[in-house]
Chain A
Amino acid sequence: QQQVKQSPQSLIVQKGGISIINCAYENTAFDYFPWYQQFPGKGPALLIAIRPDVSEKKEGRFTISFNKSAKQFSLHIMDSQPGDSATYFCAASIRGSTLGRLYFGRGTQLTVWP
């Protein structure tokens, strides 16, 4: 059973456009929601993360929006660039847990056309 559901599976955006990737979860014990970015041939790397005590977090062109009541969170990439072309994974974990385990979504392959 997929703990974190991610959509869409693939996304094509023109340069300068906005990329939006959505994730949903069921386990209300999750309290840490990171996004990982993966380029071809590389391992995933942390992009940005949010705690549920805030509704939005912005770092440069990347913004996480969080809706606790709907149990959904999303990644917005403003002014998308060809260099943003990568696979993006949302994830969730119980930060206070001694297990320290992340549950990943299935990933979104983003292609930004020049």
Chain B
Amino acid sequence: NAGVTQTPKFRILKIGQSMTLQCTQDMNHNYMYWYRQDPGMGLKLIYYSVGAGITDKGEVPNGYNVSRSTTEDFPLRLELAAPSQTSVYFCASSYLGVTNTGELFFGEGSRLTVL
């Protein structure tokens, strides 16, 4: 009964380093999302995917990349980390069909600090 699992939970990066935040879900959801949460700013959508092989940009995609090779996994890649990418990152998934609400199921977050 894992739901959405994110790793790592915490990470400190130096400016210019790269890393990948991992996200996997076991609910067979077709939609997956990456959000970032900054204090007082709510949740901003970075990228989303409507299914394996299909991804699209959200509100704040600059500095990030994603891929979706399987239904279960949706990794977020940070290239050339910058202090502005210090944030808490949330992965989420949902199942969208004819008869459901599209409720988002969130992971517990990955706290990233770029120094």
Contact = CB atoms under 8 A, between A and B. Distances in A.
Interface string A45-83: 110010000000000000000000000000000000000
Nearest to B111: A41
A30 interface: no
Interface size class of B (residues with CB under 8 A): 20 to 34
Interface residues of A, number: 24
Nearest to A102: B104
Nearest to B101: A49
Contacts of A114: none
Contact of B31 (A34, A43, A100, A104): A100
Given A98-B50, A100-B50, A101-B48, A44 B102 contact: no
A105 B42 contact: yes
Q: For the complex, would chain A's binding face be called helix, strand, loop or mixed by DSSP majority?
A: loop
A107 B101 contact: no
B106 interface: yes
B90 interface: yes
Interface of A: 6, 9, 32, 34, 36, 41-46, 49, 89, 93, 95, 98-102, 104-107
- Identify the 4 closest CB pairs spanning chains A and B, nearest first: A43-B106, A106-B42, A104-B43, A100-B96
25 contacts: A32-B101, A34-B101, A36-B104, A42-B108, A43-B4, A43-B90, A43-B92, A44-B43, A44-B104, A45-B106, A46-B103, A49-B101, A95-B101, A95-B102, A98-B96, A99-B48, A99-B50, A100-B50, A100-B94, A100-B96, A101-B33, A101-B58, A106-B40, A106-B41, A107-B43
